[in-house]
Amino acid sequence: MNQQEHIVKSFDSELNRLYGEIQQMGELAISQLNAAVDVLNRRDSNAAARIGRLAQTANKILADALKAYQTSDAELAAQVRDADAELDSQYTSYFRELLTYMMEDPRTIGQCTHLLFMAKNMERIGDHATNIAENTFFVVHGEMPEGERKKDDHTAE
């Protein structure tokens, strides 16, 4: 009996350590995202104001996903899953705006391409945060959320 208690305590201890490390990695990702946006803000304030909206949305989605994970909050996890569509929509809008700039003035293609890559990475942050949220929902309920995840990224159209 003592050996089983030891094994269970060891498992719980390791599981708690793992949860803590995952939480630290998420917090580090948020910090790095904020630092990247800060650097961008200091170079081109007009463009950064538009990447800033994407970054704020991605940051909130990631922070909420980590909070849902940390607190086993399936309701918040479901909200994160739904919020990803807004980030997709913002990305699609920004993508189209940058394409318009590039068509109007080919000299902007280089700069706009870099901004597109950054914007796509912001959108991918939302996708990864949504995966965290879906897994949190699964851990709480033992099943994945119902229905397909709403996607609002229409850049391929």
Give tens-digit pLDDT for 104-116: 999 989 988 988 9
Exposed, middle or buried by CB within 10 Å (0-12, 13-18, 19+), for 136? Answer: buried
pLDDT digits (tens, 9 = 90+) for 47-98: 556 577 888 899 999 999 999 999 999 999 999 999 999 999 999 999 999 9
| Single-letter residue type at 61 | I
| % of the chain at pLDDT higher than 70 | 88
> Residue 118 — very low, low, confident or very high, per pLDDT cuts 50/70/90?
confident
Instruction: Give dist(CA 130, CA 149) in Å, integer.
Output: 9
Structural contact between residues 88 and 126, judged by C-beta atoms closer than 8 angstroms:
yes
Residue 30: the pLDDT is 84
Domain ranges of the chain: 2-141
Instruction: Give dist(CA 9, CA 75) in Å, integer.
Output: 29
Residue 143 has pLDDT above 90, yes or no: yes
> Residue 152 — very low, low, confident or very high, per pLDDT cuts 50/70/90?
confident
Residue 5: the pLDDT is 54
Can you give the length of the chain in residues? 157
For the chain, the average pLDDT equals 85
The architecture that CATH gives domain 2-141 is Up-down Bundle (1.20)
